[in-house]
Amino acid sequence: MATTEIGKDIKLEVPLGEIDFRKRKQTYHTLLLSSQFFLTNHLVWMIAYLVVFNKTDKSSCAGPLYNFVEFGRWVLLGLFVFDAVVVTALKYLHNHPDPQHDEPPNIFNIFSIVETVITFGFWVGSIFAISEREGCTDNSLSAMMWAYVICYAFLPCGVSLCYCNLLSGSRSPTTLYNVEQVNVSQSIM
């Protein structure tokens, strides 16, 4: 049992492992949700890039936009594989409690920063590529690039709103379904 001080003269005794386990579970759950979001997001854009690139005729659309999409499909494949490895590792660490890993190792933070920089750089590159679209004005390749640029322009706003909602103390979507089980026979009596 661990003693936790709630107020000036109030102390609460709680099993030691339970406090750490709940914090650990919430930490890994939040990381898994964000990692799964990016995994799905990169999968969708990777498929879009592959399909649209394969349907685009190089003779009708050549230049920086075509070259960027040719390179971009491999970048998105790499980000998807990276996200799949991260999700798998987080699931393993989540399901196998280890006192050394109450919080994810620092390498996850480093990888997250690197992935964010690559994704941001890719988005900036897509803006430059779409500005050089002279030969590709009315085709699906430029339409997909416009969709990508616009989606990633608004995505940080949506993510920021979600995090602000979590930080403000309001109920998050992940806690709406965490209902404690109640023994009906004891509550009736």
Q: Average pLDDT for residues 128-154, to the nearest whole number?
A: 81
Q: Average pLDDT for residues 21-29, to the nearest whole number?
A: 75
Cβ(126)–Cβ(145) under 8 Å?
yes
* pLDDT tens profile 155-185: 777 777 776 776 665 554 544 444 444 444 4
Instruction: Round to whole Å and give the CA distance between 127 and 131.
Output: 6
Confidence band, pLDDT 50/70/90 cuts, at residue 151: confident
Does the pLDDT at position 36 exceed 80? yes
Confidence (pLDDT) at 109: 82
Does the pLDDT at position 76 exceed 70? yes
pTM, 2 dp: 0.69
Provide the mean pLDDT of the chain.
Answer: 75
Does the pLDDT at position 98 exceed 50? yes
Cβ(75)–Cβ(114) under 8 Å?
no
Choice between 99 and 85, residue whose per-residue pLDDT is larger = 85
Confidence (pLDDT) at 138: 62
Instruction: Round to whole Å and give the CA distance between 47 and 142.
Output: 16
Confidence (pLDDT) at 187: 45
3-state SS track over the chain: CEEEECCCCCEEEECHHHHHHHHHHHHHHHHHHHHHHHHHHHHHHHHHHHHHHHHCCCCCCCCHHHHHHHHHHHHHHHHHHHHHHHHHHHHHHHHCCCHHHCCCCHHHHHHHHHHHHHHHHHHHHHHHHHHCCHHHCCCHHHHHHHHHHHHHHHHHHHHHHHHHHHHCCCCCCCCCCCCCCCCHHHHHC
State which amino acid sits at residue 154: F
Does the pLDDT at position 189 exceed 50? no
Confidence (pLDDT) at 179: 43
